[in-house]
Structures are given as C-alpha cells and as structure tokens.
A = this chain, B = another copy of it.
C-alpha cells in the first residue's frame, strides 16, 4: 500500500469520539444467545440465568489517563477502582456480589505498594459485601493498569435501564455534583506547586470534603436499598461518571424523550461552589460537566416521587419532556438554553 493510500485510509479515533467509536466497532455484532438480555449500551450487561438475572460491568483504568499516583494514595485508588464498578451495578438497580481485579504492574511498584492497593480493594469489598473471585496479574513495561469487572444480581422485574424514562417523569439526582471535579482541580494545582518547589507544603485546608469526593467516592448502595424499602419504582437510571449533562443525554437518547433541567435545583455543596469561584469557574458548569461524582441519576413518576422519605439524599432537578422539546436547561433568570453534552472524554490519546 502506498504512503498516500495509507493516509487516506486512516481515520483518527478522536474524529469519532468515545460513543461513536464504540458504535462503529461493536454495532454489527448482534446477539445470539437466549441468555443475553442486554449487551453493549447500558451501565452493565444483563444475562438471564433462569431464576436470577446476572449483571456485568467492567472498567479499565490506566495510570496517567484515569489516575495520577503523585497525589492518589494507593489504598484510595484500590477503593475507588472498585466503587467505579459497583456504581454501574447499582445503576441497574442490582446488587453487586463479586468482582475480578486484574492488574498490570511494572517493577516501579513494590509488593508493599500493591499491598496498599489491595487493602483499599479489600475495604471496599468488606463495606459493600462483595467477594473478590479472580483476576489476572501481569507485568507491564510502564505504568499501572487496572481492569475490574463487577458481577451483580437482580430480580428480573427490578432491573432498571436507561431507556425506560416516561414523559412527565421527575428527574432526580442523589447527593451533590461537581465536587469530585473541583477536588481534582485542587490536587492538580498542588501538584504544579509541588513540582515547582518540592519543599512547599500542600494547601488543602478546609477542602477535605471535595478532595474526598474525588479520591474516595462511595457507590450509592443506600439509594438502591431505599428504593426497595419504600417500594419505589424507578423508570430509568444511570450513574454519573462522565458528568450530569452527558448522562442526561444517554437517558434522553435511549428513551427517545426530551429533558428540562432547572439550574437552581442542581445540588452543589458550599465547598464546591466556593472552590469553583476561587478557580474562576461557574459552579453550575462544574455540576453539569464535572465527572466522577458517582451519584445516581434517575427518573420516576410524580406518584412514585411522593414515596421518597423526607430524609432521602435525593433532589428533583427537572422533568422528562417530549422528544420534540429537546434537551433544555432553564437558568435562574427563566431563560431556556440548549443543554450541551460534554462530560469527560478520555479519548484524546497520545504516543
């Protein structure tokens, strides 16, 4: 093949984006087995085992792309790597039961460092009642690679997909948003300071909450348990890993409906708001587009919404509209804008 021809046939991955690439690569596969209920395209795959449904989710985390060991303690990293996967299982309204953990490690990491990492994995397993059942351990030439698969179970009727939102549903979110993104900004800032003058003390005072949101997120097991206790039926659900806007797009696209979000209803912690302003950022933009909060985004009918206990850590942020109404956000001043899908894209690789 001539050099010229080769050039013509080369499409950069960045031209398609993450979701375009996945569709391009896997769109033609099709499903053959009766037991395969759901394949690519939700938080997790769903397998029918006759009595119970098995739910499977997997994530690949690469050093330098998803985490920076300069400011990420290995125990926290182990804990977070598990949370990221459990969060996907909860987002199906299922219960995680098992995980496999595969790691690729270079000789830069000692056995003691890996022991720290696994102490975080173990803590997560203990607190969330999950068993470590397998994995793969291999060398890497450079960098630390983590691949975790979580396996959960659910009754068929309990499973919750992205595609079943109904017009008139109330859109809800657990916890608060944007904190993890701002926690990361602080850690990145202090890393710069440290690199410029290694003797400087990091300035993390009063930022425990938002730094914790980034370094040690919790999957929202409690929300799923609350749904079961209060007998609440959720129509569509997704976890917020890439940012609220991006996840709203998934629910809207897959349910073929519109969304209307009210800016003043977006839950943001005081710490996150103040930190956003001190970075010269709009707190709302951080709440909409900051990723890694691992909160749950879900929709339910107004009747179901009334069943939420007053103490529930859940906010109503908008409603599901018709497909024609599109995806909108209403600002505090009453103006309605197009909602833009941004979210974190990890697909701008280099070599």
Main secondary structure of the interface of A (DSSP, over half): mixed
Q: Is the CB of B106 within 8 A of A350?
A: yes
- State which of A134-142, A258-266, A269-277 sits at the interface with chain B: A134-142
Q: Is the CB of A100 within 8 A of B14?
A: no
User: Does A254 belong to the interface (CB within 8 Å)?
Assistant: no
Interface flags, A231-244, vs B, CB<8A=1, else 0: 00000000000000
- In the docked arrangement, what's the CA distance between A35 and B154, Å? 13
Return chain B residues, CB-CB under 8 Å to A51. Answer: 49-51
User: Does A223 belong to the interface (CB within 8 Å)?
Assistant: no
Q: Is the CB of B137 within 8 A of A21?
A: yes
Q: Is the CB of A32 within 8 A of B131?
A: yes
Q: Is the CB of B58 within 8 A of A149?
A: yes
- In the docked arrangement, what's the CA distance between A65 and B149, Å? 22
Known A-B contacts A56-B133, A60-B136; the reply to A14 vs B149 at CB < 8 A is no
Return chain B residues, CB-CB under 8 Å to A25. Answer: 114-115, 118, 137
User: Shortest beta-carbon distance, A4 to chain B, in Å?
Assistant: 15
Q: A13-B105, A49-B51, A54-B151 are in contact. List 6 more A-B contacts (CB 8 A).
A: A13-B107, A33-B131, A47-B98, A49-B49, A56-B151, A137-B347
Q: Write the residues of chain A forming the contact surface with B, with a CB cutoff of 8 angstroms.
A: 9-16, 18, 21-22, 24-26, 28-29, 31-33, 35-36, 38-40, 44-45, 47, 49-52, 54, 56-60, 62, 64-66, 97-98, 100, 102-112, 114-115, 118, 122, 125, 129-143, 145, 147, 149, 151, 153, 346-351
